[in-house]
Amino acid sequence: MPQANIPEPTMQAGDLVCGFKVLRVEAIEAMRLTAYEIEHIKTGAKVLHLHAFDRENLYAIGFRTPPEDSTGLPHILEHSVLAGSEKYPLKDAFKELIRSTMQTFINAFTYPDKTIYPVASQIRTDFFNLARVYSDLVLHPRMLKETFLQEGHHLEFVIPGNIESDLIISGIVYNEMKGVYSSPDSLMYKDIQENLYPDTIYALDSGGDPDVIPDLTYEQFRDFHRKYYSPTNARFFMYGDIPTSDHLQFLAEILAGLDRVEVDSSIKSQSIFAGPRRVSGTYPVDQDESITNRTVVNMAWMLAENKDFETALLLEILSGLLVGSAASP
């Protein structure tokens, strides 16, 4: 069980450690931890370590990955980088890590504006092994065309091996998103995003629209990784009882040989509308289904950009109360 006290700071703002500069150190009593905000001097990579007396250590590397269309490029790339690197040329490194390590958590997430790769373990040696492999997969993936076709989209025969049968589009992400787009709730959310944020990336689907996914090219796939998966555009996050200095020594090895690569990954805000808007749309149903009583009505508000944590938390609570469960009004 985590202890009740807070780790004493071992560094202070302005300290230089292993090629990093400590920007801020702050004790967060409510969470029983000491937070360190740090920057890698050479590459500009940002680091946040939450030092707590908790043997569950977590490491995550994330990138701001604004989509340029709805081909699902960030999502396909998230799947693909975990298919092996030059140093770890495994066909499915993700499954191998699940099978061969003592990880307590391992995953990858594509959001509308960012992609995050977290791993966790309670065993120090295992933790750094996971973090080292994950970092190499993410920063130095093989990016094989075979992987792109498998994870993204390709043509295959309806009847495998029968060249006389029809060709269909397939792919792991393509098929996954076909399932998502078969849900009326998912389609309604898509319509809301497109109409609340028409001038921003949030009108696009970073997961991928099945109608658009086949437009993605292998060259775009490689260029996107080259552009956004740089340390300069990265955020490294650690939590647990491993000392900050140990994390920085590890990250110094990971970032060795990499350079600062400035990239504009800024995200445009949506202008406020002059007044309320009303939008109607349709969603598919099975041929044998009745359309009686199948109308869905939704009201949504675009909130002003907010960077205040307390206000954001209150809005999350309000959202949970209003629409967070079947018992919500």
Q: Which residues are catalytic?
A: 78, 151
- CA–CA gap between residue 9 and residue 13 (Å, rounded): 11
* Residue given tokens 């029809």 in the structure block: 166
- In eight-state DSSP terms, residue 200 is S
- For the range 17-22, what are the long-range contacts, defined as Cβ-Cβ under 8 Å and sequence gap of 24 or more? 17/245, 17/248, 18/245, 18/248, 18/249, 18/251, 18/252, 19/252, 19/255, 20/47, 20/248, 20/251, 20/252
Calculate the alpha carbon distances from 138 to 115, 133, 223, 316 in Å. Answer: 11, 9, 14, 31
* Residue given tokens 């060249």 in the structure block: 163
- CA–CA gap between residue 75 and residue 173 (Å, rounded): 7
- CA–CA gap between residue 216 and residue 236 (Å, rounded): 29
- CA–CA gap between residue 73 and residue 206 (Å, rounded): 7
- Three-class SS state of 16: strand
